[in-house]
Amino acid sequence: MKILGIVCEYNPLHNGHIHHLTQSLKESFDAVYVVMSGSFVQRGEPAVLSGFDRASLAMETGMIDAVLQLPVAFSLSSAPDFCSYAVRILARAGVSHLSFGAETADLALLQSVASDNTLKQGAKTGRSHASLLGENHPVLSSPNNILAVEYLRAIKAYAPHIQPIVIKREGNYHEEGLTENFPSALAIRKHLIDKENTNTIKNHVPEHVFRLLNASDFNDTTLLGQLLIYKIRSSNEENLARINGISEGIEHRILRAADSAISYESLIEHIKTKRYTRTHICRTLCNILLDIDKCSVQAAKAEEPLLQVLAANKSVLPLLPSSRILCYSDCEGTISNTHHALLSQNRRAESIFSLLIGKEFVNMNCKIYNNCN
């Protein structure tokens, strides 16, 4: 079967994502699966909507058959781990093609860069993989090109049967204004913060997405900062050192920062150095909040990937492996300790996300559609 795979965050789903889906589906496929971050995303922050809400919005486009969750341990990881685990999920789900957007839609060039061993060498020096690639390959100063290279590296390592499809990304990833035909998700999120400006995004997202966004409450960083400062002040060096993303003694700096910080932004400012980017710090702080430890991440890398389905058309469920997870209660005692740890982290992330937006936590399960296409 020809099954298309896409890795996404849809934070939120906007017209640029619809463009990518439309371009990808110019070729005919039997099914379309997406792997999506849950309630916390790769920028190291809570999403604008929960993973289950964003999965439902994706299904309602009528172009997607199943939404699989990227475990929060990997959505809060750097590009290599984020991309490799997502590709492994899609491979296990039976995907034959992977479509991704990039600022440079030159597949041959991206594949050439993907064969460069700079990243592996850079990992030993502690240098940012993005900065090393940017020095050697200027085309990879763009974030989506970096992700594209990581997808290609993951395909080569874990799923060489998957055929890559690159779609040119329209718009500017870093643009904070709504002046383009395809404004960035960053620009849309910034306008969502001010409820009075919500209508300004109406022409830049699908109608069903706008309706939910317009009716939703969004988290701010006030409570997030308070939770983080409390969590860190209640911890110690030994506990922090076990958290994924903590290395080279930065736990000492984080503890000192929490003693001085009075807000989320001041906490980040006290931790930030030239060596660590803001995004890296934000991801690490979320890992601390969610208690995502290095051991569980390493164990997950060594096992088959977890397949947790957030939403799906009923017709494709028989196509997915029988070990796929549809609801938390069904997997008690039937999965490995490693997968149980990943699911516990996902559930914890959903619970804290509910707290951040001031809503009661409800244990959500996969939403099954008769046919969304």
- Which CATH number goes with the domain that contains 172? 3.40.50.620
The pLDDT of 15-33, averaged and rounded, is 96
- pTM, rounded to two decimals: 0.93
Question: Token pair of 147, please?
Answer: 């992700």
Is 188:14 a contact under the CB 8 Å cutoff? Answer: yes
Instruction: Give phi and psi for 40, each to the nearest 5.
Output: -125, 140
Could you report the per-residue pLDDT of 142-191, keeping only the tens digit for each? 889 999 999 999 999 999 999 999 999 876 655 556 766 788 888 898 88
Could you report the per-residue pLDDT of 328-337, keeping only the tens digit for each? 766 666 789 9
Domain ends where: 294, 311, 338?
Answer: 294
* Distance of alpha carbon 124 from the chain centroid: 25
Question: Token pair of 61, please?
Answer: 């486009």
**Total domains in the fold of the chain:** 2
Instruction: Write down the pLDDT at residue 124.
Output: 46
- 62's enclosing H/E stretch is none
Instruction: Write down the pLDDT at residue 182.
Output: 82
Structural domain that includes position 41: 3-218+297-369
Q: CA–CA separation, 180 vs 103, rounded Å?
A: 15
Is 366:97 a contact under the CB 8 Å cutoff? Answer: no
Report which DSSP code applies to 277: -
Residues 249 and 306 in one domain: no
Residues 7 and 62 in one domain: yes
Could you report the per-residue pLDDT of 85-120, keeping only the tens digit for each? 999 999 999 999 999 999 999 999 999 999 887 655
Q: Tell me the average pLDDT of the chain.
A: 90
Question: Token pair of 232, please?
Answer: 């860190």
The pLDDT of 353-365, averaged and rounded, is 89
Residues 259 and 364 in one domain: no
Residues 226 and 347 in one domain: no
Instruction: Write down the pLDDT at residue 330.
Output: 61
Q: CA–CA separation, 212 vs 184, rounded Å?
A: 19
